[in-house]
Amino acid sequence: MSGSDLRVVLVGWGAIGQRVAALLAERRPPRVVLAGVAVRDAGVVRPGWPAGAARVAGPDGLAALAPGLVVECAGRAAVMDWGRAALAAGADFAPASTSAFTDGALLADLAARATAAGRQVLIAPGALGGIDALAAAARLGLAEVRHEIVKPPAAWAGTAAEKLCDLAALTAPLTFFDGTAAEAARDFPQNANVAMITALAGIGPARTRIALVADPGAAGNAHRLRATGDFGTMTIALENRPLATNPKSSELTALALVRLIENRAAAVVL
Ligand SMILES: NC(=O)C1=CN([C@@H]2O[C@H](COP(=O)(O)OP(=O)(O)OC[C@H]3O[C@@H](n4cnc5c(N)ncnc54)[C@H](OP(=O)(O)O)[C@@H]3O)[C@@H](O)[C@H]2O)C=CC1
Ligand SMILES: O=C([O-])CC(=O)C(=O)O
């Protein structure tokens, strides 16, 4: 370990946190050190705990680890406190639970703190692709952005979808929600964080249209993005494999975070 190493702290040891840690252990990217993982119950024995990583019990314990990057993969409720603590500790902050930004004041608050600290809030593309193209196209002006999220009924279990349809009785794809990104991210915090990423990269939460679909024939989590504007037209289609331990979350989300972490320490960024 050297003074120029990127010291990373993960917040959350669930499906994404464990996958990110496993991929980092496998890939051993140069200059990246997993310094700690924040869990709510530090007393629980956790198989697969990364060698050398400290258990962080709460945001107050963050600064002692001298982090350079704090990656949140815990849940919407964790974003404010951990974001503030990360920036106060002199780290960049990368939240996965971007549905937290349906509260526009929260993003503004973190942005102001980042500016004051000379750090950054880094939003990875998550389960999505094409965000680089969408964000670039937005600089010229976008007319329309539509994002369809298609998941098997099991991935919508335990969410507000249960109030809108009978998931167990579906025999064909059903669009149970069609609305704005602001509404989708507000009402589906476990499944529609990407709606806010699309919105922030493109034409904002009020103008971005989101469709949520339960499809009994779906093998994984599909994202279909279509945007039109002065740049031309974009159509992105992803068929994501879900994470083994959480069918709501796509493998690509963990991979996008690993890419973000590695890029912060890399000589060449792709
Ligand atoms: N940006 C994107 O594209 C995507 C974002 N996500 C989001 O990423 C987040 C993580 O997803 P995933 O790993 O699949 O979810 P999981 O439910 O599998 O894991 C979340 C973990 O975070 C822990 N946790 C919750 N709150 C805290 C806290 N305050 N401090 C420390 N740990 C905490 C939970 O532990 P316990 O409850 O046991 O204490 C749990 O182990 C979710 O908000 C999810 O919606 C998911 C997919 C795509
Ligand atoms: O992982 C996915 O496919 C998308 C997801 O859950 C989210 O955005 O919350």
Span 14-71, pLDDT tens digits: 999 999 999 999 999 999 999 999 999 888 888 889 999 999 999 999 999 999 999 9
246 marked ligand binding residue: no
Cα 259 to averaged position of ligand 1 atoms, centre (Å): 19
193 marked ligand binding residue: yes
Residues 172 and 217 in one domain: yes
Question: Where residue 2 falls among pLDDT bands split at 50, 70, 90?
Answer: low
Please enumerate in sequence order all residues whose Cβ is within 8 A of that of 208, keeping only pairs 6 or more positions apart, or say none: 145, 146, 147, 180, 181, 195, 198, 199, 202
From 36, 31, 60, select the one nearest 49 (Cα to Cα): 36
Judge whether 180 lies within some domain: yes
Cα 47 to averaged position of ligand 2 atoms, centre (Å): 25
Residue 25 — left, alpha, or beta (φ > 0 → left; ψ -120 to 50 → alpha)? alpha
Residue nearest to atom 45 of ligand 1 (CA): 190
pLDDT value of position 51? 92
pLDDT value of position 1? 47
Judge whether 10 lies within some domain: yes
Question: Where residue 234 falls among pLDDT bands split at 50, 70, 90?
Answer: very high
Q: Where are the alpha helices (DSSP H) in 89-212?
A: 104-117, 131-138, 153-156, 161-164, 181-187, 193-201
Residue nearest to atom 29 of ligand 1 (CA): 78
Residues 54 and 94 in one domain: yes
**Segment 133-139 mean pLDDT:** 98
Cα 117 to averaged position of ligand 2 atoms, centre (Å): 30
Query: pLDDT tens digit string along 167-190?
Result: 999 999 999 999 999 999 999 999
Residues 159 and 229 in one domain: yes
Residue written as tokens 């974009």?
234
pLDDT value of position 196? 98
Residues 190 and 105 in one domain: no
* Pocket residues: Cβ below 6 A from ligand 1: 11-17, 38-40, 73-76, 78, 96-98, 126-127, 190, 193-194, 246, 249-250, 253
**Domain ends where: 70, 100, 123?**
123
Q: What CATH number is associated with residue 193?
A: 3.30.360.10
pLDDT over 90 percentage in the chain: 96
Positions annotated as catalytic residues are: 223
* Pocket residues: Cβ below 6 A from ligand 2: 126-127, 190-194, 221, 240, 248-250, 253
**Domain ends where: 78, 95, 123?**
123
Q: Is the ipTM of this complex over 0.90?
A: yes
Range of the domain at 238: 131-248
Mean pLDDT, rounded, of the chain: 96
Query: pLDDT tens digit string along 150-159?
Result: 999 999 999 9
Question: Where residue 211 falls among pLDDT bands split at 50, 70, 90?
Answer: very high
- The predicted model scores a pTM of 0.97
Residues 200 and 110 in one domain: no
Judge whether 63 lies within some domain: yes
Judge whether 17 lies within some domain: yes
Q: Which atom of ligand 1 is nearest to the CA of 126?
A: 3
Say which range, 47-51, 77-81, 85-89, 98-102, has the weakest mean pLDDT: 47-51
Cα 86 to averaged position of ligand 2 atoms, centre (Å): 24
Residue 133 pLDDT exceeds 50: yes
Judge whether 194 lies within some domain: yes
Residues 224 and 140 in one domain: yes
Inter-CA distances, 56 with 9, 25, 112, 230, 238, Å? 9, 19, 25, 47, 35
Residues 50 and 116 in one domain: yes
Residues 86 and 177 in one domain: no
Residues 116 and 197 in one domain: no
Query: pLDDT tens digit string along 65-84?
Result: 999 999 999 999 999 999 99
Number of domains in the chain: 2
Judge whether 259 lies within some domain: no
**Domain ends where: 123, 155, 189?**
123
Q: What CATH number is associated with residue 55?
A: 3.40.50.720
Smallest-distance ligand from the CA of 242:
2
Judge whether 193 lies within some domain: yes
Residues 47 and 115 in one domain: yes
Cα 14 to averaged position of ligand 1 atoms, centre (Å): 6
Residue 100 pLDDT exceeds 50: yes
Judge whether 254 lies within some domain: no
pLDDT value of position 83? 98
**Segment 211-226 mean pLDDT:** 97
Residues 117 and 135 in one domain: no
pLDDT value of position 91? 98
Residues 229 and 203 in one domain: yes
Element holding 82 (H helix, E strand):
helix 79-88
Residue nearest to atom 9 of ligand 2 (CA): 191
pLDDT value of position 127? 97
Residue nearest to atom 36 of ligand 1 (CA): 40
